[in-house]
Amino acid sequence: MAYFILKRLFQSIFVMLAVAFLAFSLFRFVGDPVSQMTGVETSVQDQEQLREELGLNDPFVVQFYRFTTDILKGDFGYSYRTRQPVNEMIASRIPATIELGITALMISLIVGIPAGVYTALRTRGFATQTILLTTLVGVSIPTFVIGIVLIFLFGVTLGWMPTFGRGGTVDLGGWTTSFLTLEGWSYLILPAITLGVYQLTLTMRLVRAEMMEVMRSDYIRFATARGIPQRKLHYRHALGNTMIPVITIIGLQFGGVIAFSIVTESVFQWPGMGLLFLESVRFVDIPVMGVYLVVIAFFFVLVNLVVDILYLMIDPRLRVKEAI
């Protein structure tokens, strides 16, 4: 088991190095950093001096090493567009995106799991067919369309919810949160639903497939024969055994949620990392693009690693397989 964890750890480090290399190549080869940082009136000598000071004349490997160590120290350089340190820019945007992502994931679980169980138990009912068709539509409709529909319904026609920005937030020592006020929730709920719909359909389909698989197994039949009440049978015995693959996939999806929040944040002008990334793509603000890339990949790789290790701990069968 230690061998397996070590192997996965090395794999993760490799992926991170590759992504860092990608980000570094962005810095180095897309546009000239010096001409980005200086104005038109800067003399050639000054430009050359700056180039030397920044270490851009050093060998490639040395530069990449410096880049990687700077990232590990949390020094991400300066934005071309705003001239602010990139780590401050990203840090101020992280809470908005994380809170949006978590709320979306919660919505997808709270609705997705019961719906999955229901459709698995009543395979031929009218409600099941309707739900299944709705999920197919949910997978196929682009996120931004869902956002538009919600804005149109609840923002424009009914006027119940604000549709723009994050509203008032409470500052908890650098972490701004929408969770503590009613106003914050009213701004959060539409974007969170928009982002959660795709995850919801995915969760539902997965729970349904796993549930149907488990319900056919011998131990469920035996439990039925023992006279265990239906409700307990379904929710304790069957659902419990579907949770491992479900948790895995949901863990893996969280990285996707954070990335897909780019679209949702754009529709609702939600001031998170995705909106920042979008602005930097538009202005070719390479440092911010590179750092966003590294942050997202780190998140993704970390979640992957934790899920794999958890999986190994939860399911004893896997440990045995590794031992052989």
Closer of 96 and 237 to other proteins (Cβ): 96
Distance CA(272)–CA(282), nearest Å, equals 16
Among 14, 164, 179, 235, binds other proteins (CB under 8 A): 14
Q: CA nearest 208: which of 278, 290, 119, 108?
A: 119
Give residues with Cβ within 8 angstroms of 122, minimum separation 6.
Answer: 128
Site string for other proteins, 71-90 (x = CB under 8 A): --------------------
Distance CA(275)–CA(69), nearest Å, equals 27
Structure tokens at 83: 């001239």
Q: How far is the CB of 268 from other proteins (least distance, A)?
A: 12
Closer of 45 and 157 to other proteins (Cβ): 157
Distance CA(226)–CA(222), nearest Å, equals 6
Is the Cβ–Cβ distance between 306 and 99 less than 8 Å?
no
3-state helix, strand, coil split of the chain in percent (to 5) is: 75, 0, 20
Closer of 189 and 301 to other proteins (Cβ): 301
Q: Which stretch binds other proteins (CB under 8 A): 64-72, 143-151, 185-193, 226-234?
A: 143-151
Closer of 133 and 170 to other proteins (Cβ): 133
* Interactions with other proteins, residue window 112-141 (CB under 8 A): 133, 136-137, 139-141
22: contact with other proteins by CB under 8 A: yes
Closer of 233 and 303 to other proteins (Cβ): 303
Among 10, 152, 160, 235, binds other proteins (CB under 8 A): 152
Is the Cβ–Cβ distance between 132 and 118 less than 8 Å?
no
Q: Which stretch binds other proteins (CB under 8 A): 13-21, 37-45, 242-250, 311-319?
A: 13-21
3-state SS string for 178-202 = CCCCHHHHHHHHHHHHHHHHHHHHH
Q: How far is the CB of 83 from other proteins (least distance, A)?
A: 18
Q: CA nearest 37: which of 24, 22, 47?
A: 47
Q: Which stretch binds other proteins (CB under 8 A): 16-24, 52-60, 94-102, 172-180?
A: 16-24
DSSP string, 99-151: HHHHHHHHHHHHHHHHHHHHHHHSTT-HHHHHHHHHHHHHHHS-HHHHHHHHI
Q: At what angle do helices 273-282 and 86-121 cross, to 10 degrees?
A: 120
Site string for other proteins, 256-295 (x = CB under 8 A): x--xx-xx--x----------xx-xxx-x-x--x---x--
Q: How far is the CB of 223 from other proteins (least distance, A)?
A: 25
CA distances 298 to 90, 91, 97, 259, 295, Å, are: 14, 15, 15, 12, 5
Q: CA nearest 118: which of 107, 127, 105, 108?
A: 127
Site string for other proteins, 29-58 (x = CB under 8 A): xxx---------------------------
301: contact with other proteins by CB under 8 A: yes
Contact set with other proteins (CB under 8 A): 11, 14-15, 18-19, 22, 26, 29-31, 133, 136-137, 139-145, 148, 151-152, 156, 255-256, 259-260, 262-263, 266, 277-278, 280-282, 284, 286, 289, 293, 296-297, 300-301, 304
